[in-house]
Amino acid sequence: MDQITIKAEERTEQGTGAVRRLRRTGLIPGAVNRMKGGTLLVKLGAHDFMLAMRGRTSKQLLVSLEINGSTIPALMREVQNDVIGGTPIHVDFGEVSLTEKVRVTVPVVLAGEPVGVKIGGGILEQVLRTVDVDCLPGDIAEKFTVDVSSMNLSDTLFVRDLKLGDAYTVATRADVPVAVIKAPEGADEPAAAAAAAAPEVINKGKKEEAAPAAAGDKK
């Protein structure tokens, strides 16, 4: 993940009326939970914040907060959006150490067309859409892309089957299913799975000879 830098200022404004006035001037109120305890109140430029977040899919991002000449590494924990316009109205951060692992929830994205769908006519169903992992803040991924192209009918991909790399320790239970290939509705699942796994046979033999004419047809 590339570095995300966000400029912020400490704020003294509190209360509903005060934060509304901040938003009208193009600022977003926020808060940073410090590692040593306490909360630092901040305000961010709305335009710059939305530019920094453009194209980001993860809700837990590592950012560098530049505040009064110092830099605070922090996880963006939550963004509250306006229910009507969808614009951000408050951001919560949590200060982190770059040398200590944190637990984050990362989306799981399936890629590829499974054999059981392409040949067997099955249906790919994604059961689990996020996975919890422990990793260093600098290794936080926006998503995990999992190739399911080799899955056949009746196959199930479990959390224990995910290959995420040495940087990640999976915290989600190993026996939780991530994806499954279901047989078409009404089909006999074992038979359909066997048919999908069988290699295609191409008939290269000679054409069948015409059956001999019946005796009564001879002239």
Q: Which two tokens stand for residue 97?
A: 């150490």
Distance CA 178, CA 150 (A): 15
Distance CA 142, CA 8 (A): 23
Q: What does the H/E/C string look like for 120-154?
A: CCCEEEECCCEEEEEECHHHCCCCEEEECCCCCCC
User: What are the φ and ψ backbone dihedral angles of 102, each rounded to 5 degrees?
Assistant: -125, 160
- Least confident stretch, 5-19, 21-35, 101-115, 168-182: 5-19
Residues in the chain: 219
Q: What's the predicted TM-score (pTM) here?
A: 0.74
Residue 213 has pLDDT above 80, yes or no: no
pLDDT band at 27 (very low <50, low <70, confident <90, very high): very high
User: What are the φ and ψ backbone dihedral angles of 95, each rounded to 5 degrees?
Assistant: -65, 140
Q: Contact at 8 Å (CB) between 43 and 24?
A: no
Share of the chain above pLDDT 90, in %: 64
> What CATH number labels 102-197?
2.170.120.20
Residues 6+ apart with CB under 8 A from 106: 58, 60, 130, 131, 132, 133, 140, 141, 142, 143, 144
Condensed to tens digits (0 to 9), the pLDDT of residues 44-58 reads 999 999 998 888 767
Count CB atoms within 10 A of the CB of residue 108. Answer: 21
Residue 207 has pLDDT above 80, yes or no: no
pLDDT band at 203 (very low <50, low <70, confident <90, very high): very low
Residue 69 has pLDDT above 90, yes or no: no
Whole-number average pLDDT of the chain: 86
CA geometry: angle 84, 85, 88, nearest 5 deg: 110
Distance CA 11, CA 104 (A): 28
What is the CATH superfamily name and number for domain 5-95?
A: Ribosomal Protein L25; Chain P (2.40.240.10)
**C-alpha dihedral sign at 73, 75, 78, 84:** positive
What residue spans define the domains of the chain?
5-95, 102-197
Q: How far is CA 115 from CA 67, 152, 184, 190, in A?
A: 52, 5, 14, 15
